Chains A and B, each alone.
Chain A
Amino acid sequence: MSLLSDLVNLNLSDSTKQIIAEYIWIGGSGMDIRSKARTLPGPVSDPSKLPKWNYDGSSTGQAAGDNSEVILYPQAIFRDPFRRGDNILVMCDAYTPAGDPIPTNKRHKAAKIFSHPNVAKEVPWYGIEQEYTLMQKGVNWPIGWPIGGFPGPQGPYYCGVGADKAIGRDIVDAHYKACLYAGIGISGVNGEVMPGQWEFQVGPVEGISAGDQVWVARYLLERITEISGVNVSFDPKPVPGDWNGAGAHCNYSTKTMRNDGGLAVIKKAIEKLQVKHKEHIAAYGEGNERRLTGKHETADINTFSWGVANRGASVRVGRDTEKEGKGYFEDRRPASNMDPYVVTSMIAETTILG
């Protein structure tokens, strides 16, 4: 297919100033990502200079057929690792023609929270650990698993190496470099406990940008699995039984938590989260009750617990943070299919404004 690849990889900068911008948004289910591309007359690096656009909301479950235009507002720009050159990816959120955020637009409200002066001055940082499972196309069974059967039990796969332990690494490594190229703050990757399951981490990223970066990172992942002929699943418990679920642990800190005396601020914040456990859980991803069982390194969904270095707790504080008296903590409750705009802003709202 080298003629096709030659065309896909054409470097247009030699022949034109025009660039291609891929506008990305979240569809009607709240988890499906959509995108389409347009030509722009020249390179752009500031989202406010990009034109608003629109799409057919009746085809994504986000508008009625007789009033189908949904308006896209560009919010963040990333370099396009597929088209390269000066071409860009644009993370957008969606509005009615009248200028109101549509119901599935969770970014708008999150941005309001992050621009509240009390929140802004705390400079909230997020590190999100996005877990996901790679599935064989067509059969919806994890990659590397025999059809009609199971692999050997969990144990050898976490951070494993070898054809019988690590499956799909080329997707993971391509994604790592693609994200770095795009300008996403990807801080690491690792193979997970269940075979065919992987994790990448984005962070530390400040405020609203955490949500933008996780969504674009998810988009890049799904573009790459599309190339590989594999499906990516963000289901929190893709295989029932003695197999780990998939989460999106959210590491969090504010300015006061990162400064001397921060540990006391952290403990107060955790207490506030405890009071609002039910509300957070309701917003932390569909199907999480299949994952948060109290087994497989989770805390039971109805229980709020926290501990140092305890992977069976709802919230975990690292040993370093305990030792230095300042740092950050990890909310282990969010499911892999959580909306990062919702989770990040809710944690800030509860701990700073609550």
Chain B
Amino acid sequence: MSLLTDLVNLNLSETTDKIIAEYIWVGGSGMDMRSKARTLPGPVSDPSELPKWNYDGSSTGQAPGEDSEVILYPQAIFKDPFRRGNNILVMCDAYTPAGEPIPTNKRHAAAKVFSHPDVVAEVPWYGIEQEYTLLQKDVNWPLGWPIGGFPGPQGPYYCSVGADKSFGRDIVDAHYKACLYAGINISGINGEVMPGQWEFQVGPAVGISAGDEIWVARFILERITEIAGVVVSFDPKPIPGDWNGAGAHCNYSTKSMREDGGYEIIKKAIDKLGLRHKEHIAAYGEGNERRLTGHHETADINTFLWGVANRGASIRVGRDTEKEGKGYFEDRRPASNMDPYIVTSMIAETTILWKP
């Protein structure tokens, strides 16, 4: 198929100034990603210079057929690792023609939180650990698992190497480089405890950017699994029983937490999160009750618990942070299918703006 590859990889910069922009948005389920491409007359690096666009909301469960136009507002630009050249990916959010965010648009409210002066002053940083499971196409059984059976129990797989322990590394490595190329702040990857499960981390990213980068990283991952003929699952407990779930732990700090005396600020913030445990859990991803059982490195969903270096807690504070008296903490509750706009803005809102 090299003739096809030649065309897919054509470097257009030699023949035209035109570029291709892939507009990306979140669909009607709140987890399905959608995209389509358009030609622009020349390179663009500032989202405010990109035209708004629209799509058929009646085909994504986001509008009725007789009034189907949903408007896309470009919010962030990344380099396109598939088309390369001057071609771009554009993360968008969705509005009615009247300019109202549609119900599935969670970015709009998050952006409001992040532009509140008290939040801006605290420069909130996020490091999100996105876990996911690779599944064999058509059977939806994890990659590397025998059809009709199970691999050996968990133990050998975390950060492993070898054909009997590590399944799908080419996808993971392609994704790592593609994200770096695109300009996403991907800080690392590792093989996870359940075979066929992996994790990448994005961060530190500031404010609203964390959500944009996670969504585009997810899009790039799904494009790569599409190429590989494999299905990616963000289900928080893809296999019931003695197999780890998949989370999206959210590491968090503010300016005051990162400065001397920060440890006290961290403890106060954790207390506030404890008082709003139910509200956060409700927004931390569908199906999380199958994952947060108190086993498999989770805290029970009905319990709020924090501790230093404790992976069985809702919130974990690293030993470094405790030792230096400043740093960050890790909210381990969010599920892999959480919406990063909601989680990041809610943590900022509760810890900075909310008064108990």
Contact = CB atoms under 8 A, between A and B. Distances in A.
A2 to B, nearest CB: 7
Contact of A228 (B4, B20, B65, B66): B4
A188 B68 contact: no
Contact of B231 (A146, A164, A312): A164
A174 B69 CA distance: 28
A297 interface: yes
Interface residues of B, number: 50
A312 B65 contact: yes
B8 to A, nearest CB: 5
Contact of A174 (B8, B230, B231): B8
Interface in B88-126: 97
A189 B2 contact: no
A158 B60 contact: yes
B137 A161 contact: no
Nearest to A244: B59
A240 B243 CA distance: 43
Nearest to B229: A163
Nearest to B226: A163
Contacts of A224: 4, 7
Contacts of B310: none
B7 A178 contact: yes
B49 interface: no
A156 interface: yes
Given A2-B2, A81-B7, A163 B225 contact: yes
Contacts of A186: 39
Interface string A221-240: 00010011000000000000
Nearest 10 interchain pairs by C-beta: A190-B36, A174-B7, A159-B34, A158-B59, A188-B38, A177-B10, A319-B97, A162-B222, A163-B226, A161-B222
18 contacts: A146-B138, A159-B35, A159-B36, A160-B34, A161-B35, A161-B222, A163-B229, A177-B8, A181-B15, A188-B36, A188-B37, A190-B37, A193-B59, A297-B65, A310-B67, A311-B66, A312-B66, A318-B54
Interface of B: 1-4, 6-8, 10, 12, 15-16, 18, 20, 27, 32-39, 54-56, 58-61, 65-69, 82-83, 97, 137-138, 219, 222-223, 225-232
Interface of A: 1-2, 5, 8-9, 79, 81-82, 146, 155-156, 158-166, 169-171, 173-178, 180-181, 186-191, 193, 224, 227-228, 297, 307, 309-312, 318-319, 323
